[in-house]
Structure 1
Amino acid sequence: MKRITQHILFCIGPIFSAITVTAQQKPLARLQISNPTSMTRENEIVEIEFSRLEAKVQQASFKVIETASKMEVPYQLEYKGGDKPVNLLVAVNKLLPKQTLNYDIVAGQAARTVSKTYARYVPERKDDFAWENDLIAFRMYGKALETASDNATGTDIWSKRTDKLVLDAWYKGNDYHTDKGEGMDYYQVGITLGAGDIAPYYKDSIILSKNYHHFKVLDNGPLRSTFQLGYDPWKVGDMDILATKTISLDAGSQLNRVEVKYNIAGAEEADVVAGIVKRPQESPVILDQKNGIIGYWEPEVKDKGIMGIGLLTSKPKEVKAANGHYLSRLTIKNNTPLVYYNGGAWNRAGKITTADEWFTYLRNYKNKIDKPLEVKVK
């Protein structure tokens, strides 16, 4: 299949709207998407292996139509840096508990949309790499910042209260520490894991790497942006570790999916910690080892608001407050991907405004990961 860039649908609140399709077309394929849980699922990106479709869908351009309503819905072909589609990503607006909806794939040109995710290298700001969606924004620090007095190491998070993509404008204006109605960057990272980075844990110490040195953008919207960051080797005890992080952010999500791979010379596995930097003031937190959830409702910063920061991990060995962080300790095996989720929310965005709402969001998100929407292809 020829690689194309999709322009899908008009953006809406909370994420997408749709347009009515009046013409009757014979479907190339039908998707049955089901909610296996007892909670309502809203604004999710469903991933379908394209190999399940390619015998039926051979056109370079097509539409995805919700069968009952005849409404066109957004989709994206995900390439993961290659020349052929790996996944079809479909935006599902709402599924009630145990509900199943049908979607038809039909020939034709999909309607246009504004992308809701974006990622890019920022050479004009000392090698930053930044990414965002319609809810939140993040950045990681590059090699050029290592020699600067304001060097920082972990995941940075930017507060947004607009569904517009703002990175380019904020960097161009070079005044993103001031809220002019869209949000700002006020999160303090320093030499820490920040808002959910990961590092080796050796003899009860966090052994931070240097800043990322290489990058590759794999997909860039409209529904998901994915990129890789590569790190120079560093010494951890008797081990030499070479790290790659593959980070994805979906439209409508407060959290990133982070896939980490370590090449470990000198051992078959290593202890690591994903963590959130802890502030000096007391503030609400949940440390749920059984479900792999860390939720932190930061202390309020005067004239700036409150950030909720979250981490979701699978089967952590322990979850604790230590080393100036809230930490989830895990084991990573040599050359074997480890997946976790990190992110946050800002109370002034108006969507999540209390600690209880943030902790509920994290619990529900973990349930969605554990019980993804189910897809049948007909």
Structure 2
Amino acid sequence: MNRRLCAAATVVLLAGTSLAQDMPPIASPLPPAADRSPKAAVVLADYRYGDLLWENDRTAHRIYGHALEAAEPPSGSGIDSWGKNVVWPFMDRQLRTGDQHAYHGEGLDFYNVGTGRGAGGLGIWFDNKLWTSRNYRSYRILKNGPNVADFEVDYAAWPVDVTRKVWEKRRFTLPLGTHFTRMVSTIRSDKPEPLLVGIGIGKRTTGDGGELTVDRARGLLSWWGPEDRGHGRMAVALRVDPAMIAEIRQDADNHLVLLRVTPGKPFVYYSGSAWSLGEGGFRSREAWDRYAAAEPLDFRLPR
């Protein structure tokens, strides 16, 4: 192959991701994917304490199962986000290596949820504090691709100070072609009074710093994470129904949007994320903010 054709082939291979010199070195290649076509997928990682993995052609996420609470304390109900630079599913093969924090050519996990909310976890805001659940207790996979990843989880009852208890069912839906997972949350309580639900973005998931954009009129919180040398950046955005917003604030671990919620009444919100070296081509805060603000999202509940 002559130099001109070789250069053209390289451009095609790297289109939609990033320049090769920007990528981390490959530790070892993953086992090849059986199908390299774009696909949405949800997988129960029963070999890893019940992690639930979901991804599409642009973004990848994980939540943690009950068994992890004992194996890796403290463990909580925040949402993990992985970088990916391929359009086919990779998370299950990456996690099975036992070395998901390294780059194996298709993506990596360098986002540290800790006990914060990560990329769109929630809690109940009461007495100037966020009261959060532990890891999910049960799940139901509703559709495992190819065009959508769709599942539900239940969170066991947790206390809000000593005044009440709440519990939650949440549905996660991620179709192809978007960075945003649609979430439908139903929070019930042993008392009928309204709740303030805090939905968060973790502050220090990829190191200290990061830049936050708030657009209350659009119901948007958009975070452009700090540069992690050798890993790039993670970007996270929340979109909520602006009519539900009570306040936008923060605690020690999270940037938060507080929503007025009626116990037993479902509500919709969206959480999106992207990797600066991955699918989507977001190489600047401005590009991510524009996308997050403009993505058409539907907050209506099905009748």
**Normalised TM-score (structure 2):** 0.81
CA displacement at 1:283 relative to structure 2: 2.6
Q: Does residue 271 of structure 1 match 2:192?
A: no
Residues 276-322 of structure 1: per-residue CA shift (max 9 Å, x gap): 01136333210122221000001111111101111001121112233
Aligned position for 2:72: 149
Aligned position for 1:118: 41
Aligned position for 1:369: 297
Specify which structure has the higher proportion of strand.
Answer: 1
Bigger RCO (CA 8 Å, 6+ sep): 2
Specify which structure has the higher proportion of helix.
Answer: 2
Sequence identity (%): 28
Q: Tell me if structure 2 keeps the 8 A contact 1:289–1:318.
A: no
**Normalised TM-score (structure 1):** 0.66
Equivalent residues in 2 for 1:97-246, closer than 5 Å: 114=37, 116-153=39-76, 154-237=78-161, 238-246=163-171
- Say which one has the larger Rg: 1
Aligned mates of 2:216, 2:125 — CA distance in 1: 17
Matched residue type, 1:357: A
Matched residue type, 2:159: K
Aligned mates of 1:232, 1:282 — CA distance in 2: 33
Greater Cα shift, 271-280 or 113-122: 113-122
Q: Tell me if structure 1 keeps the 8 A contact 2:36–2:87.
A: no
Aligned mates of 1:302, 1:219 — CA distance in 2: 37
Aligned position for 1:337: 266
Q: 3-state SS of the aligned residue for 1:290?
A: helix
CA displacement at 1:268 relative to structure 2: 3.3
Choose which of 286, 299, 309 in structure 1 pairs with 2:236.
309
Choose which of 339, 347, 354 in structure 1 pairs with 2:284.
354
Q: Tell me if structure 2 keeps the 8 A contact 1:195–1:275.
A: yes
Q: 3-state SS of the aligned residue for 2:201?
A: strand
Aligned mates of 1:318, 1:370 — CA distance in 2: 21
Q: 1:282 to 1:158 in 2, by over 3 A?
A: closer
Choose which of 164, 187, 209 in structure 2 pairs with 1:262.
187
Q: Tell me if structure 2 keeps the 8 A contact 1:198–1:275.
A: yes
Q: Tell me if structure 2 keeps the 8 A contact 1:287–1:320.
A: no
CA displacement at 1:144 relative to structure 2: 0.3
CA RMSD, 1 decimal: 2.1
